[in-house]
Amino acid sequence: MIDWRAEVEARREALLGDLIPLLAIPSVKDAASSGPGQPQGCHSARALEYMLQLAEKNGLRTAVIDGLVGFAEYDASRMKRGVGRGHRDYIAVLSHLDVVPATGNWSTPPFEPWIRNGRLYARGAIDDKGPAMATLYALKIVKELGLPMKHNVRLIFGIDEETGMTCMDAYNRRQPPPLAGFTPDAVFPIVNAEKGQVNGRIERIAANEERAGGHESADEHTEMVLVSFQSGTAANMVPDEARAILTLKGESDERMQQLQASLERYGKATSIQGSVVRLPDGLVEVRVKGRSAHGMEPQRGINAGLKLASFLNLQPVDAEARSFLNCCELYFLDDCLGERLGIARRDEETKELTVNVGVLAYERGVMSSLVLNIRYPISSDDKEIIGRISRCVGRLGYRWQDVTVKKPHHVSRSHPMIGALQRIYREETGLEPELLSTGGGTYACKMPCGVAFGALFPDRESTAHQPDEYVDIDELMQATAMFARAIYELGNLDMPGVRLS
């Protein structure tokens, strides 16, 4: 009987030694450094190259597709006497090497990995570089033990999971699908259902035309004019900072004091922090601090953009700005469930629909927009959601742009992979392996029979997408042991309709 945990412990220092340099790569999508072979930017390309080089050193066959995704394959036929190369059936383990921006206040620099109190801190530690390295070492253990398997195993590493999953779309265009597989990008025990997503930008239809149509004269009597507003960098994150630039009419010192006092009162009432700062050329900056959270759980954060919009809506601002602020406050402020939009839904399998306003932007006379990330239960209809939102924001002169839909994903509990993973989890942890659902979008949805399996253990703090993201090192080792066993057992699992080579 294999002691999977002992095998992992024998490789603990090596695993951490390989993981720390990977965490030091700031693999945030970067259009400025994109180019041939690196469509997501130089740092994401470097992270993928690093991982595949490690895989090659461990005797795995590697390939890169469109600079977006790579895989490292273990050929099961090598362990089967009399069988040549070309064995095509495979089990997939999918991880991502891209990370979200490291916003907020960190105790240590986010791309300078730091170990303290048994935790490894860095952006990507739990989402998803730590688990990705765990899967490489899990396959390394299976390979080094010389264990026979019926199916090949592919570790697939993408670099566009956080901003669209175009990496897996590229993979699926060029490669046959796996028999089944898992991604270590959620929680244990097993996530077999994912909400659908609707993403898009709502924007003001014709801010320039409206301004030319008469607002300018009304603004002559306005005490404040909103010049610009910015909050958030990604649709799937709750923005934790917001910034507005204003011009104040009248006695500027008195208006500054009034604005500062008003912000202090608002902050006490809403438990946020803010500041008012004088800028050159008669401009004033107002900043608000919120709390970041993953876009699948916006209720865990404080949306700084919506809070700042609500505060400014209490002020005597110009008419053009008022339209933007009204849209923020009327439909989205303190409503993560879509009740005021009329799209609130819930089912027992995947729970409540959620709405996250991840990016808010305004520039006077030029643009006014909000980027939405909506996650809906498997029983809901994306067309109904889109239609209701269109009608609501249309009343305020806004319309949907660049709308994309990701359908819900569900794997039946009767699939043989589910039973195998449940048995592994029960025997390795002593806990009951209940089936879960998530509002998160993982690579599991890109496989016909894909689930999420780890890497976060039940009832543990989730710091994905947050400042001071970390992974508990002992728990990462335990997860690695379960990944190794899962790779071995799924690699030998007979599945309905599968031709075994």
- Say what the pLDDT of residue 439 is: 81
Cα–Cα distance measured from residue 126 to residue 476, given in angstroms and rounded to the nearest whole number: 9
- Choice among 71-80, 239-248, 271-280 with the minimum mean pLDDT: 71-80
Active-site entry in 7, 127, 128, 161? 161
| 99/43 Cα distance (integer angstroms) | 11
The pLDDT of residue 24 is 98
Cα(107)–Cα(121) distance, integer angstroms: 9
Classify residue 238 as exposed, middle or buried by CB count within 10 Å of its CB (0-12, 13-18, 19+). buried
279 burial level (CB within 10 Å; 0-12, 13-18, 19+)? exposed
Of 210, 240, 223, give the one whose Cα is nearest residue 300: 240
pLDDT at 220: 56
Q: Are 95 and 131 in contact (CB under 8 A)?
A: yes
Q: What is the pLDDT of residues 374-386, one digit of tens each?
A: 999 998 999 999 9
Judged against a pLDDT cut of 70, whether residue 221 lies above it is answered with: no
pLDDT band for 209, please (50, 70, 90 cuts).
Answer: very low
Is the previous residue joined to 92 through a cis bond, with omega within 30 degrees of 0? no
Which two three-digit tokens encode residue 370? 């909000």
Reading the block at residue 423, the tokens are 């048995």
CA distance 97 to 132: 8
Higher pLDDT, 82 or 382: 382
Compute how many other C-beta atoms are within 10 angstroms of the C-beta atom of residue 282: 11
The token pair at 138 is 């899990």
- CATH number at 4-194+409-490: 3.40.630.10
Q: Specify whether the CB–CB gap between 30 and 40 falls below 8 A.
A: yes
Mean pLDDT in residue range 47-63: 97
Asked if 161 is an active-site residue, the reply is: yes
180-184 mean pLDDT: 97
Going from N- to C-terminal start, the domains of the chain cover: 4-194+409-490, 197-406
Structure-block tokens of residue 263: 């912000």
Question: Does the pLDDT at position 9 exceed 80?
Answer: yes
Q: Which tokens go with 468?
A: 């001071």
More confident residue, 448 or 473: 473
Angle between helices 319-331 and 382-394 (to 10 degrees): 150
Side-chain-side CA neighbours of 136 within 13 Å: the count stands at 34
Q: What is the rounded CA–CA span in Å between residue 494 and residue 419?
A: 12
Burial 68-82 (b: 16+ CB within 10 A, else e): bbbbbbbbbebeeee
Question: What are phi and psi for residue 350, nearest 5 degrees?
Answer: -120, 5
Whole-number Å distance between alpha carbons of 154 and 15: 19
Query: How confident is the prediction for the chain on average, in pLDDT?
Result: 91
> pTM score, two decimals?
0.74
pLDDT for the residue 215: 43
**What is the number of alpha carbons within 13 Å of residue 468 lying toward its C-beta?**
7
Confidence at residue 88, expressed as pLDDT on a 0 to 100 scale? 72
Higher pLDDT, 164 or 71: 71
Taking the mean position of all CA atoms in its chain, how far away is CA 132? 15
Lowest mean pLDDT among 104-118, 190-204, 215-229, 436-450: 215-229
Which range is most confident: 111-120, 209-218, 220-229, 406-415? 111-120
The predicted pLDDT at position 495 comes to 78
Give the pLDDT band of residue 47 (cuts 50, 70, 90).
very high
pLDDT for res 208: 45
**Would you say residue 501 has pLDDT above 80?**
no
Nearest to 58 by CA among 150, 2, 156, 141: 141
Give the mean pLDDT of 409-429: 95
| H/E stretch holding 57 | helix 42-57
**Per DSSP, what are the bridge partners of residue 198?**
374, 405
Choose, from 7, 98, 127, 162, the residue flagged as catalytic.
Answer: 98
More reliable by pLDDT, 126 or 497: 126
At 177, give phi and psi (nearest 5°).
-75, 155
Q: Nearest CA to 51 among 94, 24, 22?
A: 22
Dihedral over Cα of 204, 205, 211, 214: its sign: negative
Mean pLDDT of the 281-307 span: 93
pLDDT class of 79 with cuts at 50, 70, 90:
low
Predicted pLDDT of residue 500: 35
Kindly report which listed range (302-311, 437-446, 475-484) carries the lowest average pLDDT score: 437-446
Question: Any catalytic annotation for residue 98?
Answer: yes
Return the pLDDT at 251. Answer: 64
The CATH number that domain 197-406 falls under is 3.30.70.360
Cβ-based burial of 166 (10 A; exposed 0-12, middle 13-18, buried ≥19): middle
| Residue 422, helix vs strand vs coil | helix
pLDDT at 29 over 80: yes
Pick the closest to residue 160 from 266, 245, 269, 66 (CA basis).
Answer: 66
